[in-house]
């Protein structure tokens, strides 16, 4: 690894630049390289220019020092192996740094990272006891300054090029420090505002560049060395770092930044680390989600993990998922046609039953034609991506369902988000895009707020500016409108496209779209989530047909649901809990994520299943309890649920 060479006339060229502001002398820049005598003038000039053009400011004092170093006194070190880690944010970069320091044996890496800003105020590096994190640098103002080092190749031939080579300079320094006795690791963030890359290095880790460790433009940087050894040998370590001349050989080329920069010499990165990092961040923010097993029966009560709960969270608003006639029709279809359809609608998976349901849905929604998808999610994604592409524009309500958002993103159209149900804002934006091909899309009942779109204005806007109009009736079908046909019935307006789901009030599974016949024909040829997915199984289709029969022959079910919602909201308001809803969704805004979760937990303990809805389902800081009402909730149950909700909100 090391060999002594005998030749003379190597020179260390050192630059320090500073500026006095308000009586305080501030360090601006510093660098050092070792070169042959013939290269000294060029290097001195380069370093001078670097000092004069530093993004931290213009110095009023520049010191260029040239010092002869006998080459035989130089220790030759092989450069540390280099690896690069990509990351999106400074926070992620710092997490990666912590993990690397941990692997190098530093127990409290997070505390080390927290000391970085303090280290940045020193001219040199901070040196810490790797275990106690006690500061060990003898001069607390100055820190420890690594000097007398250079790259062997610059001393061997005349290598031109810019002196500002962060990568090579940092690697040389890191290699020297990693070779100092008892240094177990080092971490560095550049104080150059234009340079966000940092590194963690040690003999075992090698030199690990981290793409982003601070925000662009920040002059905050710092350097910390971690020492684990006898105190009486500390002076020798510092002496090595500051005074021992070192030449570093075999610098690897600067690697490109990639998540898995495959460097055969570098340590293999832990490919699972992101999971723990990601999950612990989610848990800390109170956003962890979990799956619970629910045993549902015909009533709005469930058995969940040994407890009987009153269900105030289901989308099965009419209780049709367990309605005897629906179950029976599904069972008969299953026995007749089997469990799976075995193919997509365009190959072998289409039964007459599918077409029958499509005709019924079209008639129910008063459109020419309908098309089934496997879920409401797939319907939104399929329809939006089929109708819109690059160069088109989509106007999307800021509170639209995730499946609409995903459809918009996947379409590659320009997405213009307008304020929630704010038709003046929509018009403002629509006007600017008049003449473009476009789509205005909105939930009809908003899934987290339960309010209803201003459909009359939305449709008027679409007509005036020549855009298609589309609403998603997932929470409206079977709920809103005199006979449960949705917001189209409530407002008496038929937008160009209606999307819906079979999985909420219709108690089945599947999604659908209703529109003019030609548009449906277009979707059959263009909607990828329709074309490339296996058709719904017969049982789902039959269940939805039975549910539609019941909805049409027993419209009292819709009225009953509406009355129950009104009763429940009244009960809450009597307890001073603000509650109103035009649908079956009753949002109770809490704000704080953890408080919403606590309230839901308290309710769960007391036998009430009410969801806590948090980011990313809703905006940060607008967490809420979201209670849903079913037509078959008993009045006594709703009264008690309201009382328990009011109590949980007080206690959370």
Ligand X SMILES: *Cc1c(COP(=O)(O)O)cnc(C)c1O
Positions touching ligand X (CB under 6 A) are 375-377, 380, 401, 403, 443, 447, 472, 474-475, 501, 503, 511
Least gap, CB of 501 to ligand X (angstroms): 4
Alpha carbons 141 and 69: distance in angstroms, whole number = 27
Catalytic residue among 214, 354, 504, 633: 504
Alpha carbons 51 and 56: distance in angstroms, whole number = 10
Catalytic residue among 447, 503, 529, 581: 447
The Cα-based distances of 405 to 87, 413, 416, 601 in angstroms read 25, 12, 11, 30
Contact 613, 289 (CB under 8 A): no
Least gap, CB of 403 to ligand X (angstroms): 5
DSSP letter for each residue of 509-571: --EEEEE-HHHHHHHHHH-HHHHTSBPPPHHHHHHHHHHHHHHHH-THHHHHHHHHHHHHHHH
Complex with ligand X: residue 400 or 644, whichever CB lies closer: 400
Complex with ligand X: residue 354 or 401, whichever CB lies closer: 401
Complex with ligand X: residue 175 or 503, whichever CB lies closer: 503
Alpha carbons 26 and 59: distance in angstroms, whole number = 9
Place of tokens 């709005």: 300
Alpha carbons 551 and 558: distance in angstroms, whole number = 8
Q: Is 401 a catalytic residue?
A: no
Complex with ligand X: residue 257 or 294, whichever CB lies closer: 294
Within 10 angstroms of residue 276's Cβ, the number of other Cβ atoms is: 11
Complex with ligand X: residue 8 or 619, whichever CB lies closer: 619
Complex with ligand X: residue 266 or 500, whichever CB lies closer: 500
Strands (E) in 288-355, as ranges, are 294-296, 301-304, 307-311
Complex with ligand X: residue 17 or 381, whichever CB lies closer: 381
Least gap, CB of 407 to ligand X (angstroms): 10
Least gap, CB of 280 to ligand X (angstroms): 29
Within 10 angstroms of residue 640's Cβ, the number of other Cβ atoms is: 16
Contact 336, 317 (CB under 8 A): no
Q: Is 447 a catalytic residue?
A: yes
Read off φ and ψ for residue 429, nearest 5 degrees.
-80, -40
Alpha carbons 244 and 604: distance in angstroms, whole number = 67
Least gap, CB of 428 to ligand X (angstroms): 25
Q: Is 504 a catalytic residue?
A: yes
Complex with ligand X: residue 214 or 626, whichever CB lies closer: 626
Complex with ligand X: residue 226 or 383, whichever CB lies closer: 383
Q: What is the 3-state secondary structure (H, E, C) of 142-196?
A: CCECCCCEEEHHHHHCCCCCCCCCHHHHHHHHHHHHHHCCCEEEEEEECCCCCCC
Complex with ligand X: residue 33 or 315, whichever CB lies closer: 315
Least gap, CB of 265 to ligand X (angstroms): 48
DSSP-assigned letter for residue 339: S
Complex with ligand X: residue 207 or 377, whichever CB lies closer: 377
Least gap, CB of 276 to ligand X (angstroms): 30
Nearest to 499 by CA among 610, 614, 378, 608: 378
Complex with ligand X: residue 501 or 644, whichever CB lies closer: 501
Catalytic residue among 148, 365, 475, 633: 475
Q: Which two tokens stand for residue 609?
A: 């299943």
Alpha carbons 556 and 209: distance in angstroms, whole number = 67
What 3-state class would DSSP assign to 16? strand
Least gap, CB of 413 to ligand X (angstroms): 19
Q: Tell me which residue has its CB nearest to ligand X.
A: 376
Least gap, CB of 298 to ligand X (angstroms): 21
Q: Which two tokens stand for residue 372?
A: 């089934």
Contact 333, 539 (CB under 8 A): yes
Least gap, CB of 302 to ligand X (angstroms): 19
Least gap, CB of 569 to ligand X (angstroms): 20
Place of tokens 């779209």: 513
Least gap, CB of 461 to ligand X (angstroms): 20
What's the burial of 157, exposed, middle or buried (CB within 10 Å: 0-12/13-18/19+)?
A: exposed
Residues contacting 213, CB < 8 A, separation 6+: 90, 93, 94, 97, 189, 196, 197, 198
Cis peptide before 616 (omega within 30 of 0): yes
Alpha helices in 374-495 (DSSP H): 376-387, 402-411, 423-432, 455-465, 487-491
DSSP-assigned letter for residue 320: G
Contact 535, 512 (CB under 8 A): no
Give catalytic residue positions.
447, 475, 504
């Amino acid at each position: 690894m090391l060999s002594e060479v005998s030749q003379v006339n190597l020179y260390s060229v050192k630059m320090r630049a500073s500026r006095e502001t308000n009586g305080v002398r501030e360090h601006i820049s510093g660098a050092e390289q070792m070169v042959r005598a013939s290269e000294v003038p060029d290097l001195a000039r380069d370093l001078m220019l670097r000092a004069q053009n530093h993004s931290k400011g213009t110095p009023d004092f520049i010191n260029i020092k040239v010092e002869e170093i006998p080459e035989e006194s130089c220790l030759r070190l092989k450069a540390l192996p280099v690896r690069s880690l990509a990351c999106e944010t400074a926070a992620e970069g710092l997490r990666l740094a912590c993990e690397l320091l941990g692997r190098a044996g530093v127990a409290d890496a997070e505390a080390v990272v927290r000391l970085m800003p303090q280290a940045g105020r020193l001219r040199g590096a901070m040196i810490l006891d790797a275990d106690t994190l006690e500061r060990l640098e003898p001069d607390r103002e100055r820190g420890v300054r690594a000097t007398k080092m250079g790259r062997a190749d610059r001393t061997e031939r005349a290598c031109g090029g810019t002196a500002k080579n962060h990568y090579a300079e940092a690697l040389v320094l890191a290699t020297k420090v990693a070779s100092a006795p008892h240094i177990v690791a080092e971490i560095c963030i550049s104080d150059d505002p234009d340079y966000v890359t940092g590194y963690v290095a040690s003999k075992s880790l090698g030199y690990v560049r981290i793409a982003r460790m601070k925000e662009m433009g920040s002059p905050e940087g710092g350097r910390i060395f971690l020492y684990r050894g006898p105190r009486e040998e500390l002076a020798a370590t510092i002496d090595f770092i500051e005074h021992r001349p070192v030449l570093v050989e075999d610098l690897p080329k600067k690697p490109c930044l990639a998540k898995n920069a495959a460097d055969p010499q570098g340590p293999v990165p832990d490919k699972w680390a992101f999971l723990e990092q990601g999950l612990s961040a989610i848990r800390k923010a109170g956003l962890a989600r979990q799956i619970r097993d629910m045993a549902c029966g015909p009533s709005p009560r469930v058995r969940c993990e040994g407890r009987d709960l009153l269900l105030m969270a289901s989308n099965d608003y009419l209780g049709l998922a367990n309605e005897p006639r629906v179950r029976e029709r599904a069972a008969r279809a299953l026995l007749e046609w089997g469990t799976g359809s075995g193919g997509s609608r365009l190959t072998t998976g289409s039964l007459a039953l599918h077409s029958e349901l499509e005709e019924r849905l079209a008639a129910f929604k008063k459109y020419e034609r309908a098309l089934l998808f496997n879920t409401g999610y797939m319907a939104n994604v399929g329809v939006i991506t089929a109708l819109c592409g690059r160069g088109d524009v989509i106007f999307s309500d800021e509170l639209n369902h995730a499946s609409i958002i995903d459809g918009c993103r996947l379409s590659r159209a320009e997405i213009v988000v307008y304020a929630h149900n704010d038709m003046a804002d929509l018009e403002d934006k629509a006007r600017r895009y008049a003449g473009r091909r476009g789509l205005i899309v909105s939930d009809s009942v908003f899934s987290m707020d339960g309010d209803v779109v201003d459909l009359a204005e939305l449709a008027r806007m679409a007509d005036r500016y020549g855009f298609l109009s589309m609403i998603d009736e997932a929470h409206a079908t079977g709920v809103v409108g005199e006979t449960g046909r949705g917001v189209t019935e409530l407002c008496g307006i038929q937008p160009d496209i209606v999307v819906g789901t079979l999985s909420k009030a219709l108690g089945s599974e599947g999604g659908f779209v209703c529109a003019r016949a030609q548009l449906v024909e277009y979707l059959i040829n263009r909607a990828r989530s329709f074309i490339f997915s296996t058709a719904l199984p017969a049982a789902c289709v039959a269940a939805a047909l039975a549910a539609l029969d019941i909805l049409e022959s027993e419209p009292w079910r819709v009225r009953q649901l509406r009355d129950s919602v009104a009763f429940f909201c009244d009960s809450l308001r009597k307890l001073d809990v603000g509650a109103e809803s035009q649908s079956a969704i009753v949002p109770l805004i809490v704000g704080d994520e953890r408080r919403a979760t606590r309230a839901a937990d308290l309710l769960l303990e007391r036998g009430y299943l009410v969801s806590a809805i948090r980011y990313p389902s809703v905006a940060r800081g607008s967490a809420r309890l979201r209670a849903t009402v079913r037509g078959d909730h008993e009045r006594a149950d709703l009264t008690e649920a309201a009382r328990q909700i009011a109590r949980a909100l007080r206690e959370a």
